[in-house]
Amino acid sequence: MDSIKVGLLGLGVVGGGTYKVLARNAQEIARRAGRKIEVSRVAVRDVAKARKLLGSDLVVGVDPFEVVRDPSIDIVVELIGGDTLARELVLEAIAQGKHVVTANKALLAKYGTEIFAAASARGVMVAFEAAVAGGIPIIKAIREGLTANRIEWVAGIINGTTNFILSEMRARGLPFATVLAEAQKLGYAEADPTFDIEGVDAAHKLTLLASLAFGIPVQFDKAYIEGISQLAAEDIKLAERLGYRIKLLGITKRRPEGIELRVHPALVPVKSLLANVEGAMNAVLVCGDAVGQTLYYGKGAGEEPTASAVVADLVDVTRLHTADPEHRVPHLAFQPDAMSDTPILSIDDVVTSYYLRLTVADRPGVLAELARVLADAKISIGSMIQQPAEQGADAELIFLTHEAIERNVKAAIIKIEALPFVRSRVTRLRMESLA
Ligand code: NDP
Ligand code: HSE
């Protein structure tokens, strides 16, 4: 059988890795796919740089639309990134009747509804395993392996850069900026690393996971997003002393009133599996009603781990290339006409435990008053620690609460910060046991 022809858009970290893995494992991949998968055209900005990596017989150009419109190309692999040019290219590839493989979570989290609808109408596939958790086949697991289940929640560490930063800061005491620069050098970070640091990249991925888990449309605009830039080194240390570790988590949970969709730093018990996921590794826990909890762990970013997912998609698309579109696995796991309109809940409705840290004047009645504000807001204290603050007459208090409604916690914090003996803002971090 003739080889399947791939047009590769972008030859950076992931594009370069994809090219290398396809070349190195060509025979093994052909045995699995049933035919050879051949990159026959590439588009980049810097042709001379690309030439150093590629064989000389490959067509390399600077116009990605030429690749997308080339009638000999069967599959377009979009590895440019961003959501402007990439969106135009993907929609054009679909219009040209080509299957698409992409690692672009930013694109799909924002324009997934439009892109999947266009692909279904044209009878082509859009595969995106590399868009979530790099090399971990989490999309395949949720979309295919767990189809028997009513999925209850999905939670995990889905951004390698921030997990690398938090791990290095905690274990080696390195400053934030130094570790971020290292993550960029290693090819983990997004072109704009604020996407990583501010939790946006994790929210892109979580949006896709929520759609796959619950059969809801992609709704990135409704995700609650809080990154790690405001995290104090002091809280990382204190969490450790209290038996917790701080991780940037993505959590999406089915509740009777709607679906939680949130990314934020959280304290997780130090003995939990997620607490021990270090460096650029990712881990995703999925809880289904039949299977219980399952855990998926692996490299969440970088050249070849991400290429592993891109190439797996290429093999899938090659195998199904000529299959009847009606019989393919739906893009978002559920049939397009069976999507649910369950609402996404506001962060105010989230129920979890909290870590609250504040500095107060160290004098009689202070604790009693704080306890009353918390009790009035229906917040129950699980434990409390008092330690001397830097200012001699002040004390630092840390409250760990039982589960409470975020709206109540916010209201209590406003009241606490207005009390005359409170000397600092209240640091509020969520706690997740994921039991
Ligand atoms: P890079 O910046 O390393 O690579 C981008 C590539 O796109 C480069 O080859 C660049 O060409 C090319 N490019 C950019 N603009 C154009 C254009 N106008 N025309 C033609 N080519 C263009 O990005 P990554 O490989 O890191 O990321 C690619 C995608 O994969 C993104 O969507 C990212 O979110 C996603 N991703 C990345 C992961 C990672 O670990 N890095 C993991 C999972 C997903 P040139 O080199 O000539 O400038
Ligand atoms: N910037 C992303 C990360 C790449 O750090 O996880 C993988 O999606």
Where exactly does CATH 3.30.70.260 map onto the chain? 348-431
Task: Give the CATH H-level superfamily of domain 348-431.
Answer: ACT domain (3.30.70.260)
Q: pLDDT tens digits for 36-46?
A: 999 999 999 99
Range scoring the smallest mean pLDDT among 56-70, 248-262, 411-425: 56-70
**Cβ-contact 360, 423 below 8 angstroms:** yes
State the pLDDT at residue 326: 82
The H-assigned helical ranges of 377-421 are 406-417
In the three-class reduction of DSSP (H, G, I as helix; E, B as strand; rest coil), residue 300 is classed as coil
State the pLDDT at residue 309: 98
Name the fold adopted by 4-135+303-336: Rossmann fold (3.40.50)
For the segment 143-167, the average pLDDT, to the nearest whole number, is: 97
The catalytic residue positions are 205
Where exactly does CATH 3.30.360.10 map onto the chain? 138-299
The H-assigned helical ranges of 54-98 are 64-68, 85-95
State the pLDDT at residue 374: 98
Query: For residue 125, how many other CB atoms are within 10 A of its CB?
Result: 24
For the segment 157-165, the average pLDDT, to the nearest whole number, is: 97
For the segment 124-136, the average pLDDT, to the nearest whole number, is: 97
Q: What is the pTM of this model?
A: 0.97
State the pLDDT at residue 384: 96
**Residue 258 per-residue DSSP state:** E
Q: pLDDT tens digits for 367-405?
A: 999 999 999 999 999 999 998 887 778 999 999 999 999
Range scoring the smallest mean pLDDT among 132-141, 321-330, 424-433: 321-330
Lining ligand 1 with CB less than 6 A are 10-15, 43-46, 49, 64, 79-81, 85, 103-104, 130, 134, 187-188, 190-191, 301-302, 306
The architecture CATH gives domain 138-299: 2-Layer Sandwich (3.30)
Ligand 1 nearest atom to the CA of residue 44, by list position: 21
State the pLDDT at residue 434: 86
Residue from 8, 9, 11, 14 to probe ligand 1 pocket by mutation (most atoms less than 8 Å from CB): 14
